[in-house]
Amino acid sequence: GPGPAEVGLGALPAELRAAVRALVGDLDALLTALGLREESFAVGALSRVVAAELASYAPARNRRRTATNKASLVFVDRTLDLAGAVGHHGDSLAEKILSVLPKLPGHKTDVMINMVELTALQTTDETCNIIAPGCLAQLNDPAARALWESFMNLKQKEAVMEARRHLVEAASRENLPIKMSMGRVTPEQLSSYIQLFRNNLKALENHCGLLQLVLATVQTLKHPQTSKWDNFLAFERLLLQ
C-alpha cells in the first residue's frame, strides 16, 4: 500500500547505512532536478528502509512542499535475482565460462582466455602471462557476437555444436584444410580446428574474436570445475524428482 513503513537504519551495518544515505541523497537530487513531489511505495525490507529514509530526509521534505509535479516512486527489492548466480540449475555454456575461467583484471563480467594455443610457445604453465589474455567482449566481430548469443540462449550441447559450425565456416572461408566431422563435439576436436589458424596470420587476424570464444569453450570444457558443476546439476535434478 502507499506510504513506507517506518523502518530505521539502526539495524543495518555501518557500510550499508552509509550506502543508503548516499542513495537517498542522489535520489533527492534527481527528483529536485525533475521538480517532482513523490509518493513512495516499497516492496521488500531494504526497499522500506530506503523509502523511509527518503521520506524523513530534510531536503526531500522541503522539496515536496514546493514541487508542483506529482510522481509515484516504487522501490523493489531484487534479492531473488541473486538466486541464479548461486545455483547450478542452468545448462548454459555462457554461465559456465563466466564461472570457471579467471576474471579479466579490472572487470566483473569478463574473463581471461589463455591464448597460448594460438602461438608457437610451448608451456604447460597455466599461469603463463607472457601472452596477453583474450576476452569474451568482441564488439567488432559479428560472428563472435552471434556465437556468444548462442552460448547464452542455447543449451550447452547445442552451443558447442554452434562453436564447431562457426569454426568450420571460418576455416573454409580461409581455405584451410579442415575436415568436418559429425557427432559429438569434444574439446580436443575444437583444439585441432584451432591449430589450423595458428600458422596463418591473415586468418588469425580475420577471426581472432571467434577464436577467443572457441578457446574459452575448450578451456571451460576441460576445466575440473565443469565436471563438479555437472555433478551438482545432476544432484539438484535428483532432489527435484
Asked if residue 188 has pLDDT above 60, the reply is: yes
Q: How many C-beta neighbours within 10 Å does residue 110 have?
A: 17
User: If residue 62 lies in a helix (H) or strand (E), which one and from where to where?
Assistant: helix 58-66
Residue 42 lies in a domain: yes
Q: What does 115-174 look like in DSSP terms, one character per residue?
A: -GGGSS-----TT--SSPPB-S--TT-HHHHHHHHHHHHSBHHHHHHHHHHHHHHHHHHT
Give the three cell numbers for residue 83: 538466486
Query: What domain range is 190 assigned to?
Result: 93-240
Residue 75 contacts residue 50 (beta carbons within 8 Å):
yes
What dihedral do alpha carbons 39, 42, 45, 47 form, nearest 10°? -70
Q: Give a yes or no: residue 149 inside a domain.
A: yes
Among candidate residues 80, 113, 142, the one where a domain is terminated? 80
Please indicate, yes or no, whether residues 131 and 185 belong to a single structural domain of this protein. yes
What does the pLDDT look like over 61-118, one tens digit per residue? 999 999 999 999 999 988 656 555 555 556 789 989 998 999 988 888 899 999 888 8
Q: Model confidence over 113-167: pLDDT tens digits?
A: 998 888 877 666 666 667 888 999 998 899 999 999 999 999 999 999 999 999 9
Global model pTM greater than 0.85: no
* 36 and 126 in a common domain: no
- Asked whether residue 207 is domain-assigned, the answer is yes
Neighbours of 181 (CB within 10 A): 13
Domains held by the chain: number: 2
Res. 46: pLDDT tops 80: yes
